[in-house]
Amino acid sequence: MYPIAHFSENRARRSDSSGGRRSPHNKTFHQRVKPTASRCWARGFFHCITSHNDSPVRDFCVKRITIRDVAKQADVSIGTASRVINGAPNVEAAYRTRVLAAIKQLGFVPNRAAQEVRKGRSREIGIIVRDITTPVLASFVRAAQDLFEEAGYGLLICSSDNRKDRELELLRRFRQRRIEGLITTTSSEVDADLAQARNDLDFPVLMFDREVDGTHDIVQVDHASGVNQAVTYLLSLGHRRILLLTGPVNIYPARARVEGYKRAFAAQKLDLDPTLVRTVGFDAATGFRETAVALERANRPSAIIAGGIDMLPGVLKAIRATHLHVPSDISVIGGADSDLALLADPAISVLRWDFTQIGATCARMLLERIEAPGTEPRRLAFAPELVVRDSCAAVALVPTQKRESRRK
């Protein structure tokens, strides 16, 4: 607001210094605005707008219409005006007509946010994901948003960047805002500070793809089943050295993937090499680093499962960097579907789960929890589907000498 007044004063000074005739419009802000208006403006009741063209500068102060103005215009008490605005039934028809006419005449718009706060409700839902820029997570959030908006809730979306300090700060802020529910992942299921912060919240929390104790509803992907399908398929193609890349085992998806991997080998009564199970991270940089190291070994893997949403780009980049080809030199399965997996040449086989359906399910369950807070916690798991494309080949069709010659 202050730059507007300063601009007008400078214009007036320039007019004086140039020797020109001082226009009555070129008065300073405080000369042009009456003291009463100035005091109201200072309290935030006026919005000051400055416009200028070929004519002298003009300032307009537009008063924000309040319920007091409505009551005064309708010649009723503030309480009566409030009851009409909030749809209360116990108002005489004549008063209601006058208040509604005043609202229309003045262009009054009720502050619904303030009304909800007075009722102890914010009509807001929070969502915390690792990184909202991840395309599949964006589709998850969009599906949830559609259901929340249909139910009359606004949505606050935040990225935790998988950092404990940021996650704690987001939980604190959501608690201050008095949101009505939260969908969240967590960077660690075993961290005591994070667990305490979640348990201290006074609104329902739904955990997505995590395994935590307590009273929270949980929606998960059955990663153990998915990786079991992937490993079983690769074993059927003759692969035995299968590299599994996934995140740290302090969160459910990584533990479940390792479990599914081991289960597939055990079902075939085959020994597995524990050095091929790498619980290191979910990001593309980790995928590149781990794949590059594994492919430089003399006894390198013949297949890779990229167990993470963001890991596949790094895996494919490392394969290209070592001058190998998919699937003639190495087979690849992605841990989640993506545009990259579909458009790559060759198209990458993946474990597919419907993020849109999962996002909508999370929203629906949280809304039901908000309406029925005393019911038992629920757990729901989605089984991924192995989508076979062109990135896997039988080991028998890829002689060792051929693979080594390509590498050179």
Average pLDDT for 242-258? 96
Give me the number of domains the chain comprises.
4
CATH of the domain at 238: 3.40.50.2300
- Report if residue 277 sits inside a domain: yes
Min mean pLDDT across 49-53, 110-114, 117-121 is at: 49-53
- Report if residue 117 sits inside a domain: no
243 and 348 part of one domain: yes
Q: Which helix (H) or strand (E) holds 183?
A: strand 181-184
Q: What is the pLDDT of residue 116?
A: 55
Residue 95 has pLDDT above 50, yes or no: yes
Residue 399 has pLDDT above 80, yes or no: no
Give the model's confidence band at 40: pLDDT under 50 very low, under 70 low, under 90 confident, else very high. Answer: very low
365 and 325 part of one domain: no
Residue 319 has pLDDT above 90, yes or no: yes
- Report if residue 235 sits inside a domain: yes
Distance in angstroms (rounded) separating the CA atoms of residues 161 and 168:
12
- Report if residue 119 sits inside a domain: no
Residue 28 has pLDDT above 60, yes or no: no
- Report if residue 115 sits inside a domain: no
- Report if residue 158 sits inside a domain: yes
Q: Is 181 helix (H, G, I), strand (E, B) or coil?
A: strand
227 and 175 part of one domain: no
273 and 393 part of one domain: yes
Average pLDDT for 36-44? 37
Q: What is the pLDDT of residue 83?
A: 84
264 and 337 part of one domain: yes
253 and 318 part of one domain: yes
Residue 380 has pLDDT above 90, yes or no: yes
Residue 408 has pLDDT above 50, yes or no: no
Q: What is the pLDDT of residue 63?
A: 64
Q: Give bridge partners of residue 125 from the DSSP assignment.
A: 155, 181
Q: End of a domain among 81, 110, 139? A: 110
Average pLDDT for the chain: 83
Is the separation of the CB atoms in 49 and 60 below 8 Å?
A: yes
261 and 394 part of one domain: yes
User: Is the torsion defined by CA of 269, 275, 276, 278 positive or negative?
Assistant: positive
Distance in angstroms (rounded) separating the CA atoms of residues 25 and 8:
9
**Choice between 276 and 23, residue whose per-residue pLDDT is larger:** 276
259 and 391 part of one domain: yes
Burial class (CB in 10 A: 0-12, 13-18, 19+), 187: buried
Q: What is the pLDDT of residue 33?
A: 43
Residue 354 has pLDDT above 90, yes or no: yes
Residue 36 has pLDDT above 50, yes or no: no
Q: What is the pLDDT of residue 74?
A: 94
- Report if residue 42 sits inside a domain: yes
Which residues does 281 contact at the CB level (< 8 Å), separation at least 6? 247, 248, 308, 311
Percent of the chain past pLDDT 90, that is, above it, reads 64
**Choice between 375 and 217, residue whose per-residue pLDDT is larger:** 217
CATH of the domain at 87: 1.10.260.40
254 and 307 part of one domain: yes
Min mean pLDDT across 40-54, 311-325, 341-355, 379-393 is at: 40-54
Residue 109 has pLDDT above 90, yes or no: no
Residue 121 has pLDDT above 60, yes or no: yes
Percent of the chain past pLDDT 70, that is, above it, reads 79
395 and 280 part of one domain: yes
Q: End of a domain among 29, 48, 63? A: 63
Residue 72 has pLDDT above 80, yes or no: yes
Residue 29 has pLDDT above 70, yes or no: no
Residue 290 has pLDDT above 70, yes or no: yes
Which residues does 196 contact at the CB level (< 8 Å), separation at least 6? none
- Beta strands 124-129 and 242-246 are unpaired
Give the model's confidence band at 62: pLDDT under 50 very low, under 70 low, under 90 confident, else very high. Answer: low
- Domain boundaries, position 104: 67-110
- Report if residue 147 sits inside a domain: yes
Q: What is the pLDDT of residue 308?
A: 85
Residue 12 has pLDDT above 80, yes or no: no
Q: What is the pLDDT of residue 296?
A: 96
Average pLDDT for 164-175? 95
205 and 265 part of one domain: no
Q: What is the pLDDT of residue 120?
A: 56
10 and 104 part of one domain: no
